[in-house]
């Protein structure tokens, strides 16, 4: 990902879309203010701590009471792993629509 593709090799459209999106994200992070960087850092740390705490509680409960059925365990792990992407995605889509269309 860090190197450009070899000359003369056509890129897959999905790969080129992914690369453009990654470049835009890196550019956004480079041009962000210190306050935005701090907010992003704190948000990442919050969700990391949240997931660690919830997974620890799930593990302790499983040790004390036994394993629940796999479907319930999967739901609990999905809840613990939630990072607010739905919230971020809705905000990004709303901003893109306000400017006249979604960003690619």
- Calculate the alpha carbon distances from 76 to 45, 63, 82, 104 in Å: 20, 15, 10, 33
* Residue 37: inside a domain: yes
Question: Domain range for residue 19?
Answer: 13-87
pLDDT in tens, 34-80: 999 899 899 999 999 999 999 999 999 999 999 999 999 999 999 99
pLDDT in tens, 5-29: 677 777 788 888 888 899 998 898 8
Average pLDDT over residues 95-104: 44
* Residue 31: inside a domain: yes
The whole-number pLDDT of residue 89 equals: 52
* Residue 95: inside a domain: no
The whole-number pLDDT of residue 80 equals: 93
CA separation for the pair 80, 58 (Å, rounded) = 9
* Residue 97: inside a domain: no
More confident residue, 43 or 85: 43
Give 98's pLDDT tier (boundaries 50, 70, 90): very low
Whether residue 47 contacts residue 84, with contact meaning beta carbons closer than 8 Å, is answered with yes
* Residue 57: inside a domain: yes
Instruction: Give the pTM.
Output: 0.58
The whole-number pLDDT of residue 61 equals: 96
């Amino acid at each position: 990902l860090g190197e450009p593709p070899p000359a003369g090799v056509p890129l897959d459209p999905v790969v080129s879309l992914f690369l453009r999106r990654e470049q835009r994200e890196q550019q956004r992070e480079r041009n962000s203010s210190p306050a935005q960087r701090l907010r992003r850092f704190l948000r990442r740390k919050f969700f990391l701590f949240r997931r660690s705490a919830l997974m620890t509680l799930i593990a302790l409960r499983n040790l004390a009471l036994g394993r629940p059925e796999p479907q319930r365990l999967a739901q609990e792990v999905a809840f613990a792993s939630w990072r607010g992407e739905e919230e971020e995605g809705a905000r990004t889509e709303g901003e893109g629509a306000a400017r006249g269309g979604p960003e690619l």
